[in-house]
């Protein structure tokens, strides 16, 4: 599958990969910051943003979409930077195609399975009655029990087209069905020997002791950086610190 993407800047190619329920434009500020020195692409992964919808969403398939898309525009070598689910896609692409990935940066996720509430989010979104002229305020209220955090609801609702014929722009049914695949991680022996950096949010629990062990096992050359006063959404909580750390890594 060829993915939709935006592009900015010139220089060595860098590919930014968004997280679950997101889209490439969620990383626009980071894309713009990096575009001063690099050619930065921000794809929408399948079932997200403007990319096509299809049922399979295991990480081998998502990584294959990415490689097909980059092949189509003639990019043979590139840096991968992925946040959350996008970090897992980036890791899988680096393990499957190590000669093509110059550097790998993974934002607040580890190569391990997770048990989260994200499946509940997908179910609550699917259960939302898409009645004609549904407003965003009404949708926000309807999701408030299942998704109590207002910022998380706003993030999810970016994918809702309101108006006379409201609809989710996500391939939401496919995402919900694929949730077990999205939460898992199939161990692969280390094959990627290029530079690797994992960047964690100090206030996030996505990279804890188990995550550090998984990183050391599967990416033994990796270094881990922690950003203070940041949760899982590093690019929102501490954009300047994230950009600084990424530029330092890209310049090594």
| Start-end of H helices in the chain | 28-34, 59-72, 85-96, 118-127, 136-143, 150-157, 172-177, 179-183, 209-218, 234-237, 239-250
Distance separating alpha carbons of residues 120 and 8, to the nearest angstrom: 35
Paired tokens of 80: 């991968």
Exactly one of 18, 83, 232, 235 is catalytic; name it: 232
φ/ψ (deg, to 5) at 75: -95, 110
φ/ψ (deg, to 5) at 184: -90, 170
Strand 39-43, strand 5-8: pairing: antiparallel
Exactly one of 51, 84, 124, 204 is catalytic; name it: 84
Active site residue 84: yes
Catalytic residues: 84, 232
């Amino acid at each position: 599958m060829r993915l939709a993407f935006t592009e900015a800047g010139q220089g060595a190619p860098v590919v930014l990969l968004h997280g679950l329920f997101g889209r490439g434009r969620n990383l626009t500020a980071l894309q713009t910051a990096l575009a001063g020195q690099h050619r930065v692409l921000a794809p929408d992964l399948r079932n997200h943003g403007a990319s096509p919808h299809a049922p399979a969403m295991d990480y081998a398939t998502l990584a294959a979409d990415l490689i097909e898309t980059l092949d189509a525009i003639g990019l043979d070598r590139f840096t991968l930077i992925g946040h959350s689910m996008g970090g897992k896609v980036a890791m899988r692409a680096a393990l499957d195609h190590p000669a093509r990935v110059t550097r790998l940066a993974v934002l607040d996720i580890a190569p391990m399975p997770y048990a989260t509430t994200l499946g509940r989010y997908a179910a609550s979104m699917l259960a939302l009655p898409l009645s004609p002229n549904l407003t965003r305020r009404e949708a926000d209220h309807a999701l408030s029990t299942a998704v109590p955090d207002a910022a998380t609801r706003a993030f999810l609702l970016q994918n809702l087209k309101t108006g006379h014929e409201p609809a989710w722009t996500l391939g939401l049914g496919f995402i919900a069905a694929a949730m077990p695949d999205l939460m898992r991680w199939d161990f692969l022996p280390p094959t990627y020997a290029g530079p690797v950096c994992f960047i964690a949010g100090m206030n996030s629990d996505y990279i804890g002791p188990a995550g550090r062990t998984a990183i050391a096992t599967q990416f033994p050359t990796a270094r881990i950086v922690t950003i203070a006063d940041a949760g899982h959404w590093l690019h929102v909580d501490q954009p300047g610190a994230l950009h600084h750390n990424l530029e330092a890594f890209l310049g090594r």
